[in-house]
Amino acid sequence: MASLTNKERVGRVLDLVADGLGPWMISQLHVKYGDTWATEVGRTAGLTGRDSSPNHNDPAYLFWVFDKQWHAVFRDQLSFEDKRAVSAMWDARKEWAHGERISSERTERVLMDGEHILRSIGAIQQADKADEMRREFRRLMFEEDQKRLQRAQEKALSVQVDSAGLPAWRDVVEPHDDVARGTFELAQFAADVEKASGGKLKITVHANASLFKAPEIKRAVQGGQAQIGEILLVNYQNEWQIFGADGLPFLADSYDASMKLYKAQKPLLEKKLGEQGMLLLYAVAWPPQGIYVKKPIAAAADLKGVKWRAYSPATARIAELVGAQPVTVQAAELSQAMATGVIESYMSSGVTGYDTKTYEHLKYYYDTQAWLPKNAVIVNKAAFDALDKPTQAAVLKAGAEAEARGWAASRKVNSDVLEKLKANGMQVLPPSAALKADMAKVGDVMLKEWLDKAGPEGQALVDAYRK
């Protein structure tokens, strides 16, 4: 495994997926169309040629069929997350076939998606092989992380060790666009710790994933390569559903509701992170998410057929539920997509709208406050336990102050930027009663889907939040 390239790993998991997905898909297509399924697939897609000689072993063919027959055949058997995984695998297949460079981050994601869809269809043997590949790959990446950290430590003159032998901590940050402007003052947190500890503990802030890439941060803190780091909780939902509770649309639709959800979520986070050898220090909510749209809307029905930017499973699912036309657009392409009419609507925060000058293209922003995901600062527990009691207390105190400061700053940023949107000609509006009720129904559907995965633990969290 150590000698394999990322492209070879991706190629192998694509073969595993084809081996498991092909027979399952064909069985489902047989149920729907009978022995003429291949012809029917080609006909409904408006294509010729593919149906004459279907290649059951070709991942590209299988992904193409899966996409074209999702609504007619596979939707009733699988979840939208399963569809996302297959779509991601299709994209990976295109990158692999075109000889594009495949990063380690991308490779791990493909391995995870491959295992996910294989388990969903009951292809356990292939799923276990994909899991084995992923575990081996993560072991290799862990070893590389250690080597890289050692090299960085040898070169970094800024790393300080005090007279008591306490190492400098590294705060690894990859903020979303909403928090990228330093609003939440991680540097102030570091300064507070140094001051409160009498200079015994110095935290060096490495912003914008300069020490570890975003997907690597949690693993780095858990393994001790970094003593402290900041993560976006919802990014780890596939690992444990509770991590994604604050990304559920229309469950907590205000700062006050988000804080209430956080208080219900926090004991579970502390327990899970503790089991993984980490400590939850503090968490801060992003500015809330609203709807940008070209024309005014009074109800969800007004979004039917609208070209809607889908950049995540949640936003794509919302589009599906309201009847919008989902269009995948990356952040770097957002402005161009609006200018050229590729999209007519999307969901994000006021900050994103202002930073991308959305007001030049879309004139309405409905402040639905659909969800307020949180960044969390986590600490390696062994490193924390190695500190003396006064220094531990200084860290906890600084963390509590940073949390309070961060939530207040988030509120202020949100209110300030909405005024800026108005000043640039955008109509910032509250959702109508009908629109709010419609979106609440969308949220109920997505909550039920999440609870099906989260199980009793997720239900207990929701019950605690709604008390």
pLDDT in tens, 51-85: 445 666 788 888 888 988 888 899 888 887 788 88
Residues 407, 54: Cα–Cα separation, whole Å: 55
Sorted by sequence, the CB contacts under 8 Å of residue 378 that are 6+ apart come out as: 218, 221, 228, 229, 230, 231, 273, 278, 279, 280, 281
Residue 173 lies in a domain: no
95-109, 174-188, 193-207: segment of lowest average pLDDT: 174-188
Residue 446, token pair as written in the block: 């997505």
Residue 439, token pair as written in the block: 């979106």
- Global confidence as pTM: 0.63
Cα-based torsion angle of the residue sequence 13, 144, 170, 162 in order, rounded to the nearest 10 degrees: 160
pLDDT value for 153: 45
Q: Which tens digit of pLDDT belongs to each residue from 157-167?
A: 333 333 333 33
Q: What are phi and psi of 357, to 5 degrees?
A: 55, 45
Residue 24 lies in a domain: yes
pLDDT at 168 over 50: no
Residue 165 lies in a domain: no
Cβ–Cβ < 8 Å for 434, 298? yes
Tokens 């697939």 — which residue?
41
Q: Which domain holds residue 25?
A: 6-142
SS3 369: coil
The structural domain count of the chain equals 1
User: Mean per-residue pLDDT for 257-262?
Assistant: 97
208 — pLDDT class (breaks 50, 70, 90): low
3 — pLDDT class (breaks 50, 70, 90): low
pLDDT value for 278: 96
User: Mean per-residue pLDDT for 253-266?
Assistant: 96
Give percent of the chain with pLDDT exceeding 70.
Answer: 86
